[in-house]
C-alpha cells in the first residue's frame, strides 16, 4: 500500500515546515507545533542504519557541531511526486575544522542539538569527505534531500 502524492506532501510539510495538515482528524486538522523549532543536521564517520542515533559515529573534528535548520518554508522546500521530497532551502554550513579532522561518509537529520537523539532521515554522502584544518563542510542549497517514496 502506498501513500497518495498529496498525503506525502502534507506529511513533509507538517514535519519540515510545521504546516498544519488540514481536514485530518477534527475541524482544525493535524496541527503543527506551537513553536516550530529546528531539525539538526549531523555528520557521521560511519554507515548509519535504521537503529542509529544522532551520536552514532558522529563526527568529532575540532570545532564540530550539529547545524540547526528551521522547520519552516525558509529552512526547507517541499517538491515533487514519486518521490515527494524535502530539501534544504539555504546552504547548511558546519563549523570550520580546527587541528583534528575526520573523514565523513554519512549524514542525518534529527531532533536534538546535541547528545543522543532520534534520527529522522539518514543517508550516505555521494563520496566521503576528508575534513582537515581549515575545511568548512557544507551542503549546497537543495543538496540535503529527504524523501518519501
DSSP conformation class of 118: B
What pLDDT is attached to residue 32?
Answer: 76
Helices (H) and strands (E) in the chain, counts: 1, 9
Strand partners, 131: 102
Calculate the alpha carbon distances from 15 to 82, 116, 119, 134 in Å. 18, 20, 13, 34
What pLDDT is attached to residue 149?
Answer: 67
Which is more confident, 22 or 26?
22
H or E element: which one contains 10?
helix 5-17
Helix, strand or coil for residue 9? helix
Work out the pLDDT band at 97, boundaries 50, 70, 90: very high
- Do 124 and 100 touch, CB atoms closer than 8 A? no
What pLDDT is attached to residue 34?
Answer: 77
Q: Is the peptide bond before 83 cis (omega within 30 degrees of 0)?
A: yes
**CA-CA distance, 73 to 59, in Å (whole number)?**
28
- pLDDT tens column, 24-65: 777 677 777 778 899 999 999 999 999 999 999 999 999 999
Domain ranges of the chain: 5-148
Q: Does the predicted TM-score (pTM) go above 0.85?
A: yes
- pLDDT tens column, 62-96: 999 999 999 999 999 999 887 889 999 999 999 99
Amino acid at each position: 500500500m502506498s501513500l497518495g502524492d498529496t498525503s506525502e506532501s502534507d506529511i513533509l510539510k507538517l514535519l519540515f515546515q510545521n504546516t498544519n495538515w488540514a481536514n485530518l482528524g477534527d475541524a482544525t486538522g493535524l496541527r503543527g507545533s506551537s513553536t516550530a523549532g529546528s531539525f539538526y543536521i549531523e555528520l557521521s564517520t560511519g554507515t548509519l542504519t535504521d537503529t542509529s542515533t544522532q551520536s552514532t559515529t558522529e563526527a568529532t573534528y575540532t570545532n564540530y557541531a550539529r547545524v540547526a535548520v528551521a522547520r519552516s518554508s525558509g529552512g526547507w522546500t517541499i517538491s515533487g511526486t514519486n518521490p515527494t521530497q524535502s530539501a534544504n532551502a539555504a546552504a547548511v554550513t558546519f563549523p570550520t575544522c580546527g587541528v583534528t579532522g575526520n573523514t565523513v561518509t554519512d549524514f542525518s537529520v534529527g531532533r536534538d542539538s546535541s547528545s543522543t537523539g532520534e534520527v529522522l532521515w539518514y543517508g550516505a554522502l555521494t563520496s566521503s569527505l576528508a575534513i582537515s584544518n581549515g575545511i568548512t563542510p557544507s551542503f549546497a542549497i537543495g543538496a540535503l534531500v529527504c524523501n518519501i517514496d
